[in-house]
Amino acid sequence: MPSPRAPDLGRPGGFATSPGAGYTLFETALGSCAIVWSNSGIAGIELPEPSVAGTRRRVAERHPGAVEAEPPPDVRKASEAIARHLAKGAADLSWMRLDMDRLSPFARRVYEEARSVPAGATVSYGGLAERLGRPGAARAVGQALKRNPFAVVVPCHRVVAAGGGIGGFSAGAGTDTKRRILEIEGAAPIPAMERLSSDARLVRVARQVP
């Protein structure tokens, strides 16, 4: 029997390469983030690198052709909402229109399903694959999330390892950033999370307050 073909994940990184694509930096509790836009919506969100210059380099690598510019009103509103969320973990980010035109159908499905995981909850990579009707595709889901251009808005940080471990995170300062965002959102510390079941149920773990 032939091996099942791996899903097409689409182009790695962002896709704001058309002339006129823009980006701007904005301040958050984590540091200077970047938001990239195109004519079709928000094309990318980059979490802080160790330096502002590093954040700009990451934008250039993932969104070639994007030029630093004054954001249009809807993009400014989005950046303000992201900043509020990274301060208190409770802002509504579901209204934002994302430019997924150059992503594969599989990557779009992964990102759309990830957006349904609420703040304060987590799901395993395998659990998210089951929710997509692709049991056994945990590795492909992980690879799609690794390439996620929409950090925070597509909350790949809420997808963790099956045993309750932190899992991977390629944005910002890596797993330290992932852990910090989960704590801001009210999830329990990763080592204390209960094991996520294989039936893809969301596990909401409220932080205990004395």
Are 171 and 82 within 8 A, CB to CB? no
Q: Which amino acid is at 78?
A: A
Nearest to 185 by CA among 89, 118, 92: 89
User: Is 156 considered catalytic here?
Assistant: yes
Q: Which of 36, 107, 156, 196 is catalytic?
A: 156
Say which residues have a Cβ less than 8 Å from residue 112's Cβ, sequence separation at least 6: none
Q: In whole angstroms, what is the distance from residue 124 CA to residue 200 CA? A: 7
* DSSP symbols for 10-57: -SSS----STT-EEEEEEETTEEEEEEEETTEEEEEE---SSHHHHHH
Are 81 and 164 within 8 A, CB to CB? no
- Annotated catalytic residues are 156
